[in-house]
Amino acid sequence: MTSFARGIIGALLLAGLLATPVRAQDVKAGDLVITQAWTRATPGGAKIGGGYVTIENKGAAPDRLIGGSADVAGKVEVHEMAMNNGVMTMRPLDKGLVIEPGKTVKLAPGGYHLMMFDLKSPLKQGDKVPVTLEFEKAGKVKLSLDVQGIGAQGPAGADNSGGNMDMKKMPGMKM
Ligand SMILES: [Cu+2]
């Protein structure tokens, strides 16, 4: 074989490798597939941060996101946002967030979210924040949140046109 042929074969092999979709952020755990894990950069001094993931249940039974943990945070809770007497409030989901079989649940700004309390350091855009989610059936699942800009409404590359609710701009929001 000539070195030219070897070069061609090498290039083809490399192209094949590069063409394989690299979706490192897709995490499988039992029947669950977790994608689009992201968070927002926090302004200096902020002690809380949100966390967002998309969870698909490919199984035949419901599962439940019951909590989580992160080295960067003192505590992680699963929250929902809701209108309460005209005021947007959020509260922890005591019984967790149910992921019905065959359904996809998206945590996003203005809706369900992970709440990270007592941040030990600011979240910086471009960083990856390792977190562990805890599911009733799938158990503990490690993944990392891609840190987007401070005002980001979605993960990088996603259609961010919907859901323009910004927690920080909501007057009277109670923790
Ligand atoms: Cu919250």
Ligand 1 centroid to residue 40 C-alpha, Å: 13
Confidence bin at 157 (pLDDT 50/70/90): low
Q: Tens digits of per-residue pLDDT, 129-153?
A: 999 999 999 999 999 999 999 989 9
Q: What is the pLDDT of residues 22-77, one digit of tens each?
A: 445 689 999 999 999 999 999 988 999 999 999 999 999 999 999 999 999 999 99
Q: Residue 112 Cα, ligand 1 centroid: separation in angstroms?
A: 8
Predicted TM-score of the model (pTM)? 0.76
> What is the residue-wise DSSP string for 58-119?
-SSS-EEEEEEEETT-SEEEEEEEEEETTEEEEEE-TT-EEE-TT-EEE--TTSSEEEEES-
